[in-house]
Structure 1
Amino acid sequence: MPTPYGPRGGMAFGADELRVLRRALAAALHPVPLADEDVRECLRLADSVDEAAREAGRQRSFLLADLARYRAALPGSAPGYLELLQDALAAGYDPRPEDLAALRTLRGRPAAAVLRRCQSLAEESVRARLARCAPVTPTPARTPARARLHALPGGRAAEEPKPRPAPAPKPAQEPQPKPPPVPKPSEVFPPRRKPVPPPEQLAVG
């Protein structure tokens, strides 16, 4: 029968029990038909494991009850309390705040060594609980691009008058050159003047 005295509360198996356990694991990984005797040995091992687990639970309950009684009787019960506490730690017991407080009241090298061990185990337990309770931050989802809305024929869009586009500005016109001035006939053909008689003819007449 396996005994519940492995490290941190695990079970210790004998040589025959380990042989049956290896056979059962091999059959689970690679299913093959088992002989009737092998099946009966696996069932006996399963019953033994269940009984050992129940026995481990009973022993743990007794140990914790004795530990609480010795802790309540401190400081006179310091040697017994330290011994029980170390047995409980070896069986997988997580030190409680009252254990840490009780160890701080005790003096001597054994109590200091047990206190350091309990503080280390308590810190590991707290970190493990925080890791299990830490929320997982979800990855922010990308916002899908909004599709452009197009007006459908009919509806209010068809009833409302559509604004007319503003007329495009006209290009600036260049100034037209002025036509050249037309000369008058009098300027082109000046009037002919009468000839003036010489002075001698004026005197004779």
Structure 2
Amino acid sequence: MAFGSDELRVLRRALAHALHPAPLADEDVQDCLRLADSVDDAVREAGRLRAFLLADLARYRASLPAAAPGYLELLQDALAAGYDPAPEDLAALRTLRANPVGAVLLGRCQTLAERSVRARLAGATASSRARAATPGPRTRLLALPGGRAADDPRPGPSDPAPAERPVPKPSEVFPPRRRPAPPPQERAAG
């Protein structure tokens, strides 16, 4: 997630207020509320894009072996984004072992899956202790101390008056993929 210069100024003021609490001006409260809405929107969009990528990966996996090049490319992208390979991915890659890229990805996915299982087993013993110390889910920021969001006649973050950045479409975030050229076919002498 990247912040613009205006958002960084708001974030800096909010952090300064967190370190040195004092009453906030109404404009600062509104800026913080808008920033919180922007962050919430970005988190929702990131979740939506991840779901889109995983659904696309599942569609390609279901179309194997015909969609092998696209599946392997999508899987590489997903792994680069932190995706943990599922058992279905390992099974699909086993069928694609003859493909050099598939063989390399199979080894990589097996290593990642093993690490994931080890981490879950190690985390299972520590999770009971950590659960007590884990904070609850992030709640929506409704008001800051010293603010008067309800009394303010200026447009708030939910009003259409403030300028908002448009949410990018998946086609704008993920550029079209180039399909690899098919390998030259060898002709049998005969």
Q: TM-score normalised by the shorter chain: which range applies?
A: 0.5 to 0.7
Structure 1 residue 108 corresponds to structure 2 residue 93: no
Q: Deviations over 1:85-142 (max 9, x none)?
A: 2232233321101101211221333223322332232222212211221279xxxxxx
May I ask how many residue pairs the two structures share in their alignment? 126
Q: For 1:1-205, list aligned pairs within 5 A.
A: 11-106=1-96, 107-134=98-125
Q: What's the TM-score once normalised by structure 2's chain length?
A: 0.57
- CA pair 78-55 structure 1, distance change in 2 beyond 3 A: same
Distance (whole Å) between structure 2 residues aligned to residue 26 and residue 117 of structure 1: 44
Alignment RMSD: 2.2
Amino acid at match of 1:36: D
Displacement of 1:63: 1.6
Distance (whole Å) between structure 2 residues aligned to residue 115 and residue 48 of structure 1: 39
SS in 2 for 1:134: helix
User: Percent of pairs identical after alignment?
Assistant: 78
Displacement of 1:67: 0.9
Q: Highest relative contact order (Cα 8 Å, sep 6+), 1 or 2?
A: 2
Q: What's the TM-score once normalised by structure 1's chain length?
A: 0.54
Distance (whole Å) between structure 1 residues aligned to residue 13 and residue 71 of structure 2: 43
- CA pair 60-35 structure 1, distance change in 2 beyond 3 A: same
Distance (whole Å) between structure 1 residues aligned to residue 9 and residue 110 of structure 2: 39
Distance (whole Å) between structure 2 residues aligned to residue 57 and residue 71 of structure 1: 21
Distance (whole Å) between structure 2 residues aligned to residue 111 and residue 15 of structure 1: 43
Q: Deviations over 1:24-46 (max 9, x none)?
A: 22322322333322222211111
Distance (whole Å) between structure 2 residues aligned to residue 88 and residue 28 of structure 1: 37
The runs of at least 4 consecutive aligned structure 1 residues that moved more than 4 Å come to none
Amino acid at match of 2:121: L
